[in-house]
Amino acid sequence: MSKQRRFDLDWLRVISVFAVFLHHVLMPFNGDDFHIMNKTHSKILDDTMVYFEQFRLPLLFFISGVGTIFAFSKRSCILFIKERMLRLLIPLIFGVLLIIPPQTFFESLDSYKSYLNAYPDLVLKFNVNHLWFIENLFLMSIVFIPFILFIRSNASIKLKKWIINNTKKYGFISWVLVLLIIRLATKEFFLSDSKIFINPSSTLYFGFFFFSGIVITSTGDLWNLLLNKRKLNFKLLIFFTILFYCYYFIPGNIIKPYVSLDNRWRLWYAISSLVSWSAIITILGYSQVFLNKKSELLSKLNEAVYPFYILHQTIIIVLGYYIIRLEANIFSKIIILFTSSLILITLSYILLIYPFKWIRFLFGMKNKKI
């Protein structure tokens, strides 16, 4: 495994978190279920967001799998667990105690007299909200330790050769067969979209991308294959995207007499999985061409991206609660919410988080380099 810094993955991490931020800015206006909702919504917005939802979080889990391998390569097993606790568990606990309660408060503002009076009740709900990602990442990191130890050992040489040879023969798209089995089998018995770790349909789905990041990073030849086959993977992505929207927009009254509701959902999960994986392998190929460049800006953004993620949804909900009540059209409200949230998150990071050692610690950041 190469220990050279992968700037393309750093850029993808930054872009992925910014995509999560943008997604949550748009959520109050797409007609879906969110903590705060505008009175009117945009169908076009919903139709666009549903596509990017297929690979926005899977990409973040893939990158986290890669990061887990790099973190483990520098530490013993005990030190790795300690590092995961400091980087993930501490910010999660801090977030549940101080970052998440304002979200719950503004979600049900009419039910409380004041934030201070409501705080004990808010905390005891133990909501993780958007921090479910950190919770899942911590637990996945621990659960996958035995596999990481195996994949780093000589005992895995035959397996890695088998994976490389079959991927070269059948292409990266062949991996989607595993994803299809996971998605269809788990959704057969666990229909919930809950992101709680004990929900197999969510955890095994995202776990596939986390696992893929570990495997690809542990077998360097696969990175080259992603690079060399990027054009083919892009063509597959275009094909699956067309298939996705053809199925998405097909009128229900046309397909209903011929395909049961259960089978329609099975088709949806299958097509969505094809889009998810083809998008991931395409992005990973082209990012090596266009994003694998060191820059001072990247260094600063990569350091800020974690506290940015922890803060973003709370600030969006607090500001959004008032913005959605303005007498303005949806587009204007989105611009106001996007701009004000981005400014407030940035100022919070620069003035309240970055300079202070203990605040950095609570947000999972490393000490400043002197």
- Residues 82-91: tens digit of each pLDDT: 999 999 999 9
The predicted model gives 333-361 an average pLDDT of 98
Residues 204 and 195: beta-carbon distance below 8 Å = no
The predicted model gives 247-257 an average pLDDT of 90
Count Cα neighbours of 190 within 13 Å in the Cβ-side half-sphere: 17
pTM given for the model: 0.96
> Rounded CA gap, 156 and 147, in Å?
10
pLDDT at 253: 83
pLDDT at 53: 97
The predicted model gives 333-345 an average pLDDT of 98
Please state, in angstroms and as integers, the Cα–Cα distance from residue 238 to each residue in 29, 53, 247, 275, 284, following that order. 27, 16, 14, 9, 16
pLDDT at 73: 86
Residues 307 and 347: beta-carbon distance below 8 Å = no
pLDDT tens, position by position, 50-84? 999 999 999 999 999 999 999 998 889 999 999 99
| Tokens standing for residue 155 | 């005992």
The predicted model gives 192-209 an average pLDDT of 96
pLDDT band at 256 (very low <50, low <70, confident <90, very high): confident
Over the range 270-298, which residues count as b (16 or more CB within 10 Å of their CB) and which as e? bbbbbbbbbbbbbbbbbbbeebeeeeeeb
pLDDT at 369: 63
> Rounded CA gap, 230 and 211, in Å?
21
> Rounded CA gap, 356 and 70, in Å?
27
Query: What's the mean per-residue pLDDT of the chain?
Result: 95
The strand ranges marked E within 81-126 are none
- 3 pLDDT exceeds 80? no
> Rounded CA gap, 69 and 152, in Å?
9
Residues 367 and 360: beta-carbon distance below 8 Å = yes
Please state, in angstroms and as integers, the Cα–Cα distance from residue 313 to each residue in 134, 201, 222, following that order. 14, 24, 35
The predicted model gives 325-353 an average pLDDT of 98
Helix pair angle (261-290, 176-189), 10° resolution:
140
